Amino acid sequence: MGATAIYPGTFDPITNGHIDILIRSLKAFDHIIVGIGPNPTKTTLFSIEERILMIKECLNSIPNVSVEVFDCLLVDFAKRKNAKVIIRGLRAISDFEYEFQMALMNRKLDSDIETVFLMPSEEYSYLTSSIIKVVGSFGGDVSSLIPKLAHEMIKNKFNKINKE
């Protein structure tokens, strides 16, 4: 396709589902920018610096991917990066309504930017960063659901929190 796409999210933490969507996106796009964006409705476990480190390290073997932080409207970020496509994952029907509304709002803000929805592999269809954090906070084994570094970081984070 010869184009750049933006894959936005909070990635707190990055999961194997995120990576699945990213790798599959590279079949259609030459370059993917993983955009770590603001979400005023979410409280994050990891700082922005920790997430940048985690994501860059977890994706360092995947070519044609970069990681950037943005603090503006997603369509404005896409314009600055000359990206005409936003990639979003749809895990379940419950995701659809929210993602549909966001895609329509983004189209209203800039009709030149399209949203492409990808479904994750079936094994990740239930997986969210929120679930990872809940299970991880109780010491549950999430090692098969997130990259090794993310697993180490989440264990360390909750060990530190539990000691306080």
Which residues participate in catalysis according to the annotation?
18, 42, 91, 129
Concatenated DSSP letters of 73-138: -HHHHHHHTT--EEEEE--SHHHHHHHHHHHHHHHHH-TT-EEEEEPPPGGGTT--HHHHHHHHHT
Q: Could you identify the residue written with the tokens 């990740």? A: 124
